[in-house]
Amino acid sequence: MTHFPTWSRRDAIRMAAWLTAAAGTPVAARSVVRKAARGGPVLKGDSAFLDAVSQTMIPRTATPGAGDVHTGAFVAMALAHGLHGARQPLAADTTSALRAYARPDGSLDHIAWLRGALDRRAAPSFLAATPARRHTALAALDAEAFAAGGDHHPWHVVKALILTGYYTSEAGGSQELRYEAVPGRYDPDLPVTPQTRAISNDWTAVDFG
């Protein structure tokens, strides 16, 4: 006969909270993505554009890419609700180029800014560009954001949300990463190779940027 451990009420609550945080966030987010948010309704076209950006950043390999799992819908909702400080007013020393994409409340419209930034680099349009040109345009933007003095570059916010949305999706969390519902024995010294995948339910080992 198989014997199962006895869970206390506290254990059950802790597990339910963890499951909600680790697995439920993107699903819930995507179910309401077209509802009105604090900054207005999230448009389907915005989600499609962000899917294209996400897929360029995390393309399909042996596992689905970020666009394949509709990470863009999560990113659009997260931006509308101000995750990662996305709805904070622009700083007083913000350049006029960024202020051109300011909302009435003074915060940056990250989607409009990102579309403009990538369209310029993949002229005439990021969405109309080949996958190679999309990659080149996004790589140039990423290099600009992580160059010296780019600490407050708006791409940091979008990139962090793409990573969060993808790696908390079912594909990202259980295929791209390794998921173990019941961790095995404790091994203090294990070999790590380039093929070793982080465990998605070990939050001390997963960094979303």
User: Tens digit of pLDDT per residue, the chain (209 long)?
Assistant: 434 344 344 444 444 444 444 444 444 333 333 443 444 555 678 999 999 999 999 999 999 999 999 999 999 999 999 998 999 999 999 999 999 999 999 999 999 999 999 999 999 999 999 999 999 999 999 999 999 999 999 999 999 999 999 988 989 888 888 777 776 777 788 788 888 777 776 655 555 55
Say whether 178 sits in a helix, a strand or coil. Answer: strand
Residues 155, 163: Cα–Cα separation, whole Å: 12
**Contact present, 81 and 37 (Cβ < 8 Å):** yes
Write down the domain spans for the chain: 40-176
The reported pLDDT for the residue numbered 3 is: 40
Q: Which helix (H) or strand (E) holds 40?
A: strand 40-41
Residue 131: closest CA among 142, 122, 143: 122
In Å, what is the CA distance from 74 to each residue of 32, 55, 88, 194?
Answer: 9, 13, 19, 29
Cα end-to-end span (Å), the chain: 45
